[in-house]
Amino acid sequence: MNIVVCVKQTVDLQQVRIRRETREPVLENIPLTLGNIDKNALEEGVRLREQHGGRVVVVSAGSDALGETIKEALAMGADEAVLVTGPQLDGAESAVAAEVLARAIGKIGEVDLILLGEGSGDNYSGQVGPRLAELLGMPQVGFVNGLQVEGGRLRATRSLEDCLEVVEVEMPAVVAVVSEINEARIPAVTAILKAGRKPKQELTPGELGFDLAGMQPRVRTLSNLAPEQERKRILFSEGLDADVDNLIKALLSEGAAVR
């Protein structure tokens, strides 16, 4: 079974600081890594290969530093990597990323399954998976926290807001996973040393017939800050019964409905 796992290079979120004055994140001089949910997608791909055979190819698009970052994916068990690099791909919007990934996957040959994270750690738009499926003409299943392969079909368990849903789909297919699907492995030292010797193909957007210079961005991110939520600073400390009465009065004053 030929499995493609799409991963994204992001800053290490554990090391991001927030400026107190502007509440903007400080991203300068922060190490680059793979997105956490992308690691779950890769882990699932490696487990499926261990069960059914085949190969796992990681595909990614990003800045020129991507070649160094992708070694982590190879150390985690991917067999090879296909990278599309260029300065204009650093922080590319979802539509561009999906188009580039689709063309890169087209260079691989026959593919049975495409895995990726439900959203990236830096943006979490959740658009790349559906866009990629549309471009490749494949069925797509999202929010997957369990996956089984039976013959030429996938059985996926989807984690929805109020229930779990089990669906079946013919392969090839695009599957977007959530972090609960597994616990990504930490590569051993020997795996890290072997990662540098695994096949790695680097392409440019031009080699894929993609003219980024002539493309106008369809989406412009204005801010990714959480909305401000001011506390009411109402204290209750007159005993349990009095606290409940005061809490009800405070909620009613805010327009809460009474039933």
Residues 121 and 237 in one domain: no
Has residue 46 been placed in a domain?
Answer: yes
Write out the two tokens for 72.
């982590």
* 96/221: higher pLDDT: 96
Question: Confidence class of residue 242 from pLDDT cuts 50, 70 and 90?
Answer: low
Residues 26 and 78 in one domain: yes
Bridging pattern class, strands 140-150 and 2-6 = unpaired
Give the number of residues written for the chain. Answer: 259
Residues 67 and 183 in one domain: yes
List, for residues 115-170, the tens digit of each pLDDT value: 999 988 777 788 899 999 999 999 999 999 999 998 889 999 999 988 899 999 99
Average pLDDT, integer, range 96-104: 93
List, for residues 169-192, the tens digit of each pLDDT value: 999 999 999 999 999 999 999 999
Domain count, the chain: 2
- Provide the domain limits for residue 258: 229-259
Q: Where are the alpha helices (DSSP H) in the chain?
A: 36-52, 66-69, 71-75, 94-106, 128-136, 189-195, 240-253
pTM of the model: 0.81
Average pLDDT, integer, range 199-227: 78
* 205/75: higher pLDDT: 75
